[in-house]
A and B are shown apart, each in its own frame.
Chain A
């Protein structure tokens, strides 16, 4: 069973939610977790919940990086849990790292201590999100990358992202030939400027990628592609827009329920459907998303991650280790050369 290092101090609800998530995983699976952080606080949370000590070790780190800290300054603190954990993975003491902490610091910590796969120039932060299924057998989740690790990209980097995302989806979502799309302002191949046009041309010529062409914004939540590739700035805006729309929908529903009894009754009738929608957009069940491009694995969780989300992220990390995701990406890169 793989050892997964977990940043006990990262996230809005750390260390409680993180330690509780790991405790749940220790009871339900054979995955070994290395909790990284303030051992006294970790132990104090651990003793108050059910856990299996046989699957949990603790690596002390005296500092923690705040969610609002400036990432470049934050990663200079060598004894911060994020840095201690990433080093532990780089040194081979664990096979993957899971953190719900400061996203910028996570990406920089990886860049500082992990090694890029041969041929990869830039890492990509991916995000898993729910989308509509257009065909039978399609995964309920799509992978969007990059969502912020590399703000501006060259065409070659977008091609790398396509290869990485495709390899990840093949292994984790078990899609034999994931459909890959390029996020653009129109479906025509000449749209979007030089970088996107060149990326489109190269992707179309790559036999190892099932490229379905350009995608527009409204395609993001449809089932046209399993992997959507874009530069970090665009991906981040798109992701936040999806999250924002979902949140506004719930706010409007709640406001409507509070305003009129008739609306409340109507919503009560729709409760089953709303609950299904909530389940579909519930990030806690997807766990986390990978930072791809390194020889080592990093799963980034939502900052607001609950114990359940952390537990699912640990499972995703273990699955990525077992399925040799970095090797799959390296093989895909080699085949594309």
Chain B
């Protein structure tokens, strides 16, 4: 069953052009720990069997592939990681253990930077990721839509938004250069990125940018990125939005929910609350949530019986909320031009606070 539309999103897939799903690795796919030097070292030498994936992520990737196939298209899954290639073997083995099909994986050659004495580049990932995303775009089949998945630990929302705007032709290379300089991207990388961006610019391709709120950052932090960026607290929420966008069917969303119920200590009530949160934040329309909720209740993923009455009450309340919000927000559906200066000001202020 296809579901109603999520609020802003992109056009649901109808063509045979493939769907590109690009994933960050640490904190998005893996529950990597690098809060301290010790945990960083432990992560670096961890065996595949000891690596822990974020609950529901493997099922979600499998579901994206399967749903695309049912629609007569392919979903290509790529990982772009700022981790060094030396941990590649363990990562590949982990993905194999999880049964996650993927089509490519790129690591950041930290050793090369170290040899060249480019110590700043070891920690600066914006330039690396942006360049790799653009290279990936140029190598991708024309017309392919993209879904991007990151987290709230570094600057994934900024990197992905810059990339999406460059590909859409909304952000011109001349405007990009001062932004990259302000982030202190290596000047040589800036030149590469500008060249790549000039070649990759075309039309709107990035449908959604999902940010896994691993640090539980307040969702309001991402408002400056517009409705294309969707912060989610768990992969059930991500699956629900993808379901409403037409990339997944309700059964796929239910499967992701079931993984959380069976393996991650979730309860149907917790999943119901997660769905309610999406509607309150204006990510899902009440109609889409209602359609999805009915299927998920039938599948035993959301609370049944009295939960239904409760859900109706929740939706009634949410409709009131949405009515008010619509008046404030105006028409949604298009990604407005982002104010990158304001975004960078805010990022600078936030890093100053945490310092």
Interface residues of A (CB under 8 A from B): 27, 32, 39-40, 43, 47-60, 93
Contacts and interface: CB of A to CB of B under 8 A. Distances in A.
A61 to B, nearest CB: 9
B274 to A, nearest CB: 5
B273 A53 contact: yes
A275 to B, nearest CB: 26
A40 B274 contact: no
Nearest to B266: A54
Contacts of A49: 218
Contacts of B276: 53, 57-58
Given A39-B321, A57-B276, A60-B317, A52 B216 contact: yes
A48 B321 contact: no
A54 B273 contact: yes
B312 interface: no
A93 B215 CA distance: 30
Contact of A50 (B216, B270, B321): B216
B220 A93 contact: no
Contact of B270 (A40, A47, A54, A58): A54
Please name the 10 residue pairs, one residue from A and one from B, whose CB atoms are nearest each other, closest first: A53-B277, A60-B317, A54-B270, A50-B216, A47-B220, A48-B220, A47-B219, A43-B280, A39-B321, A57-B273
A47 B234 contact: no
Contacts of B317: 39, 58-60
A52 B320 CA distance: 23
B184 interface: no
Interface in B268-301: 269-274, 276-277, 280-281
Give the interface size class of chain B: 20 to 34
Contacts of B269: 32
A153 to B, nearest CB: 40
Contacts of B219: 47
Given A32-B273, A56-B277, A57-B314, 17 more contacts: A39-B280, A39-B320, A40-B321, A40-B324, A47-B218, A48-B218, A48-B220, A49-B218, A50-B218, A52-B216, A53-B237, A54-B233, A54-B266, A54-B274, A55-B273, A60-B317, A93-B310
A39 B320 CA distance: 9
A273 B149 CA distance: 52
B346 interface: no
A32 B215 CA distance: 20
A60 B318 CA distance: 9
Contacts of A60: 316-317, 320-321
Contacts of B314: 57-58
A257 B229 CA distance: 52
Contacts of B237: 53
Nearest to B270: A54
A2 B316 CA distance: 24
A24 to B, nearest CB: 11
B3 to A, nearest CB: 20
Contacts of A48: 218, 220
A60 B274 CA distance: 17
Chain A CB within 10 Å, residue with most, of B218, B271, B273: B273
Nearest to A27: B216
A32 B266 CA distance: 12
Contacts of A51: 216, 218
Nearest to A60: B317
Nearest to A51: B216
Contacts of A58: 276, 280, 314, 317
Contacts of A53: 233, 237, 273-274, 276-277
Given A40-B324, A43-B281, A59 B216 contact: no
Contacts of A47: 218-220, 281
A318 to B, nearest CB: 15
A274 B322 CA distance: 50
Given A54-B274, A56-B277, A59-B313, A43 B216 contact: no
A274 B314 CA distance: 48
B233 A52 contact: yes
Contacts of B318: 39
Nearest to A3: B269
B217 interface: yes
A264 to B, nearest CB: 31
Residue of A43, A47, A54, A93 with highest tally of chain B CB at under 10 A: A54
Contacts of B217: 50
Nearest to B281: A47
15 contacts: A39-B318, A39-B321, A40-B320, A40-B325, A47-B219, A48-B220, A49-B218, A51-B218, A53-B237, A53-B277, A54-B274, A55-B270, A57-B276, A60-B317, A93-B310
Interface string B254-274: 000000000000100111111
Contacts of B274: 53-54
B234 A54 contact: yes
A47 B317 CA distance: 17
Contacts of B324: 40
Nearest to A42: B280
A53 B234 CA distance: 9
A47 B223 CA distance: 10
Contacts of A57: 272-273, 276, 314
A27 B270 CA distance: 13
A169 B32 CA distance: 44
Interface in B97-153: none
Nearest to A93: B310
